[in-house]
Amino acid sequence: MAVASSLPHVLVTGGAGFIGSHTVLELVNQGYNVVVVDNLCNSCEEPLRRIQKLAGLPQPLPFHNIDLTDREGLRQVFQQHNITSVIHFAALKAVGESVHKPLMYYRNNITGTLNLVETMVEFGVKNIVFSSSATVYAADYDGNALRESNELGCTSPYGRTKLFMENIIKDVVDAEQGWNAIMLRYFNPTGAHESGTMGEDPQQIPNNLMPYISQVAIGKLEKVHVFGTDYNTRDGTGVRDYIHVMDLAEAHVVALKRLTNNNGYEIFNLGSGTGQTVLEMIAAMKEACGRDIPYVNDPRRAGDIDTILCDPTKASKELGFTVHRDLKQMCADLWRWQQNNPNGYS
**Structural contact between residues 298 and 227, judged by C-beta atoms closer than 8 angstroms:** yes
Q: Give φ, ψ of 107 to 5 degrees.
A: -65, -50
**Structural contact between residues 279 and 235, judged by C-beta atoms closer than 8 angstroms:** yes
- Beta strands per DSSP E along 149-281: 180-186, 188-190, 224-227, 239-240, 242-244, 265-270, 276-277
In angstroms, the Cα distances linking 292 to 25, 196, 288, 326 are: 33, 21, 11, 22
Q: Give φ, ψ of 27 to 5 degrees.
A: -60, -50
Exactly one of 32, 105, 137, 158 is catalytic; which is it?
Answer: 158
Classify residue 297 as exposed, middle or buried by CB count within 10 Å of its CB (0-12, 13-18, 19+). middle
Catalytic (active site) residue 137: no
Between CA 260 and CA 301, with CA 159 as vertex, the angle to 5 degrees is 140
The number of residues making up the chain comes to: 346
- Beta strands per DSSP E along 187-257: 188-190, 224-227, 239-240, 242-244
Active site residues: 158
